[in-house]
Amino acid sequence: MPSISRVSVVLIFLNEERFLADAIDSVVAQTFKEWELLLVDDGSTDRSSSIAQSYADRWPNQIRYLEHSGHGNRGMSASRNAGAWNAHGQYLAFMDADDIWLPNKLMEQVAMLEANPEVGMVFGQAVYWYSWNGLDGSRPDYIPPSGFDSDTIIRPPEFIRMCLSGSIAVPCPSSIIIRRPVLEEVAGFEEQFRGIHSVYEDQAFYGKIALVTPVIASNDCWIYYRLHPDASTAVSKRAGRLWVTRDFYLRWLTDYFQEKGVSDSELWKTLHRELWKIYQPWWLPQVDPFPAWLRWGKKWVLRFQDRLLPRAVIDRIWAK
* Domains observed in the chain: 7-238 (3.90.550.10), 242-318 (no CATH)
- Residue at 123: amino acid letter: F
Distance CA 63, CA 52 (A): 9
Note the helical H segments in 102-153: 105-115
Length in residues, the chain: 320
Helix axes 311-318, 292-308, angle to 10 degrees: 140
Q: How far apart are CA 319 and CA 106, in angstroms?
A: 41
What's the whole-model pTM score?
Answer: 0.87
What does the pLDDT profile of the chain (320 residues) look like in tens digits?
Answer: 444 689 999 999 999 999 999 999 999 999 999 999 999 999 999 999 999 999 999 999 999 999 999 999 999 999 999 999 999 999 999 999 999 999 999 999 999 999 999 999 999 999 988 888 775 556 788 888 888 777 899 999 999 999 999 889 899 999 999 999 999 999 999 999 998 899 999 999 999 999 999 999 999 999 999 886 666 665 556 555 677 888 899 999 999 999 999 999 999 999 998 888 877 654 545 555 556 666 667 666 666 666 776 767 656 666 65
Q: State how far the Cα of 201 lies from the Cα of 71, in Å rounded to an integer.
A: 21
Residue 229 is predicted with a pLDDT of 61
* Secondary structure, 3-state, 195-264: HHHHHHHHHHHHHHHCCCCCEEEEEEEEEEEECCCCCHHHHHHHCCCHHHHHHHHHHHHHHHHHHCCCCC
What is the pLDDT at residue 243? 77
